[in-house]
């Protein structure tokens, strides 16, 4: 079985569905659907809409941290 881009199991979310649009700060489904019981019959994954998670900033070090 071929592994998909972000794994074989992708949680249903309007944030990265092909049928959704962003209008200001709102996520709107163009098909007027909602997620029920964690599923949507018309959900179609679009990897372009996925926003990567940001990593935490590294702590600031000084010269004394690296001396013995």
For 3-61, the pLDDT digits (tens) are 666 666 777 777 888 888 878 887 778 888 777 777 788 888 888 887 777 888 888 98
Domain range enclosing 26: 9-50
- Does residue 24 form part of some domain? yes
- pTM for the model stands at 0.53
Helical H runs in 1-68?
none
Q: Indicate if the pLDDT at residue 1 is higher than 60.
A: no
Tell me what pLDDT residue 20 has. Answer: 82
Dihedral sign of CA atoms 59, 63, 64, 68 in order: positive
Dist CA 66 CA 27 (whole Å):
47
14 Cβ contact partners less than 8 Å away, ≥ 6 residues apart = 20, 27, 29, 35, 40
For residue 63, is pLDDT > 70? yes
Residue 65, in any domain of the structure: no
The answer to whether position 58 is within a domain reads: no
Give the C-alpha separation, 65 to 11, whole Å. Answer: 42
């Amino acid at each position: 079985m071929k592994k998909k881009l972000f794994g074989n199991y992708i949680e249903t979310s309007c944030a990265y569905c092909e049928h959704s649009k962003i209008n200001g700060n709102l996520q709107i489904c163009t098909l007027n659907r909602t997620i029920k019981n964690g599923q949507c019959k018309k959900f179609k994954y679009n990897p372009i809409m996925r926003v990567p998670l940001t990593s935490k900033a590294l702590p600031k070090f000084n010269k004394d941290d690296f001396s013995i």
